[in-house]
Chains A and B, each alone.
Chain A
């Protein structure tokens, strides 16, 4: 490998690659948000819902955890979304990653909800709260705090899975890496560069989540849990 030529390729492609970073950030923020908005109600339904609703959630989770993201991307981009008048590859990426993440996030939230002492829900009901009030005022504020460590796992996995949408030509980091590598014949240097970009994004995200975890920690609890 010609070191100078490799460095040249990286430096010349820097603005172009940073554009890709923003596309990746857009994908992951959109997908995590969609996954959160769907994942929370899915978890609540799976814990507190009626039998039929619970079964539907289980089916959803089973489907989206069971089918490869790559298959879902082709299915949605070429099969389902065009029928709904959506032909944006970026949007298809956000939707597929978001629906998949919803399945995983729902199980993170479910675990957190079920780890709370059941007595608190009883106490909320005894005060005359409706189930909706008890879940939104008592259960979720605590369950979501407990979910942050598991959720940061989901974030870092989804961030790297987001590279899969290059197959429908979304111009995120890996798609641009490949085209620069092809043009400059520096695949190894560009792969390393892409790896560094993903690493930095993961690091920033995990730092933010760790900060959030500290900021919302309940008083009287330490790193090791309740005193």
Chain B
């Protein structure tokens, strides 16, 4: 019997990755990354750009196939080379991208609806109802008919969150969801992330929004040069007197943005 099925409630393992490795040519960009996401928790990936955060997230749903390592969802190991299994797995693992990646030829509603009709096989009417409910949840029901080119960055990212949520994912991977946004638009996306965290969505998010994530994250995972070098609660890593790489990094970011650690 797997560890996951023994555990209950808050401690239930949703997604576990073990010793993920990825190289591009001679560039070893992901080194033995191991982590576990438990039900309802938010883990935050931080670290310098090029540290492997994005590669780790994309390996977690095989958008970038890892060279080695193992992945379990709900205690069931996922083998990336089996196509059917992979498509079913990706439906349960939502992904949010830094540059939104909305489908430009579809309205906000169409963006949220298309996977419901094409992948889930829902009727157009049911899919429309569901898509509208998700757009409402991110506060964009009134913009359902607009196309990506007619939306602001923050609105685009909220549509992409609605698009992922409509698939009822068990876990959400967020790859720097606010990095492409103006400072004024970051807040509206972070508010949605906060609502999701409060509602108990299991998430892992790469971000440079240290102050925001320190309040919500169950754990900070610090990555540098492709490896996870520190992971603990934000309080422990940022404690006064703590001598951690995470703290030094956060101090540098906050020095730039003028926020205290």
A residues neighboring B (CB under 8 Å): 117, 119-120, 122-130, 133, 137-138, 141-142, 145, 218-221, 226-227
A137 touches B114 (CB 8 A): yes
A127 touches B105 (CB 8 A): no
Q: How far is the CB of A139 from the nearest CB of chain B, in Å?
A: 10
- B101 in contact (CB, < 8 A): yes
Chain A residues with CB below 8 A from B88, complex form: 128
B97 touches A128 (CB 8 A): no
Chain B window 116-156, contacts with chain A (Cβ cutoff 8 Å), 1 for yes, 0 for no: 00110000000000000000000000000011111000000
Chain A residues with CB below 8 A from B87, complex form: 128-130
- B245 in contact (CB, < 8 A): no
A137 to B103, CA, bound (A): 10
CB nearest to A222 among chain B residues: B149
A127 touches B119 (CB 8 A): yes
> Which listed residue (B61, B102, B146, B149) contacts A226, Cβ 8 A?
B149
> Which listed residue (B63, B83, B104) contacts A122, Cβ 8 A?
B63
Interface centre among A120, A123, A137, A141 (most CB of B within 10 A): A123
B105 touches A218 (CB 8 A): yes
Chain A residues with CB below 8 A from B114, complex form: 137-138
Chain B window 81-109, contacts with chain A (Cβ cutoff 8 Å), 1 for yes, 0 for no: 00100011111011101011111110100
- B163 in contact (CB, < 8 A): yes
Given contacts A122-B97, A123-B160, A137-B114, contact A220 B103 (CB under 8 A): no
6 A-B pairs with the lowest CB-CB distances in the bound complex, closest first: A220-B149, A128-B91, A123-B101, A119-B101, A126-B95, A127-B115
Chain B residues with CB below 8 A from A125, complex form: 63, 90
- B167 in contact (CB, < 8 A): yes
| Tally of chain B residues near chain A (CB < 8 A) | 33
B149 touches A128 (CB 8 A): no
Given contacts A119-B99, A128-B119, A128-B167, contact A221 B149 (CB under 8 A): yes
Chain A residues with CB below 8 A from B105, complex form: 141-142, 145, 218
Q: How far is the CB of A98 from the nearest CB of chain B, in Å?
A: 28
B63 touches A120 (CB 8 A): no
B90 touches A128 (CB 8 A): yes
CB nearest to A142 among chain B residues: B105
B150 touches A219 (CB 8 A): yes
A117 to B149, CA, bound (A): 14
A128 to B117, CA, bound (A): 12
B83 touches A218 (CB 8 A): no
Chain A residues with CB below 8 A from B97, complex form: 119, 122-123
Q: How far is the CB of B237 from the nearest CB of chain A, in Å?
A: 30
> Which listed residue (A122, A145, A227) contacts B101, Cβ 8 A?
A122
Interface centre among A117, A124, A142, A219 (most CB of B within 10 A): A219
> Which listed residue (A127, A129, A142) contacts B104, Cβ 8 A?
A142
**25 CB < 8 A contacts A-B:** A117-B101, A119-B97, A120-B101, A120-B104, A122-B97, A122-B101, A123-B101, A123-B102, A126-B93, A126-B164, A127-B90, A127-B91, A127-B115, A127-B119, A127-B163, A127-B164, A128-B167, A129-B115, A130-B87, A145-B105, A218-B104, A219-B146, A219-B150, A220-B148, A220-B149
CB nearest to A140 among chain B residues: B105
A157 to B90, CA, bound (A): 45
Chain B residues with CB below 8 A from A138, complex form: 103, 114
Q: How far is the CB of B12 from the nearest CB of chain A, in Å?
A: 23
Chain A residues with CB below 8 A from B100, complex form: 119
Chain A residues with CB below 8 A from B93, complex form: 126
Q: How far is the CB of B232 from the nearest CB of chain A, in Å?
A: 29
Q: How far is the CB of A113 from the nearest CB of chain B, in Å?
A: 13
Given contacts A126-B63, A127-B167, A129-B119, contact A219 B101 (CB under 8 A): no
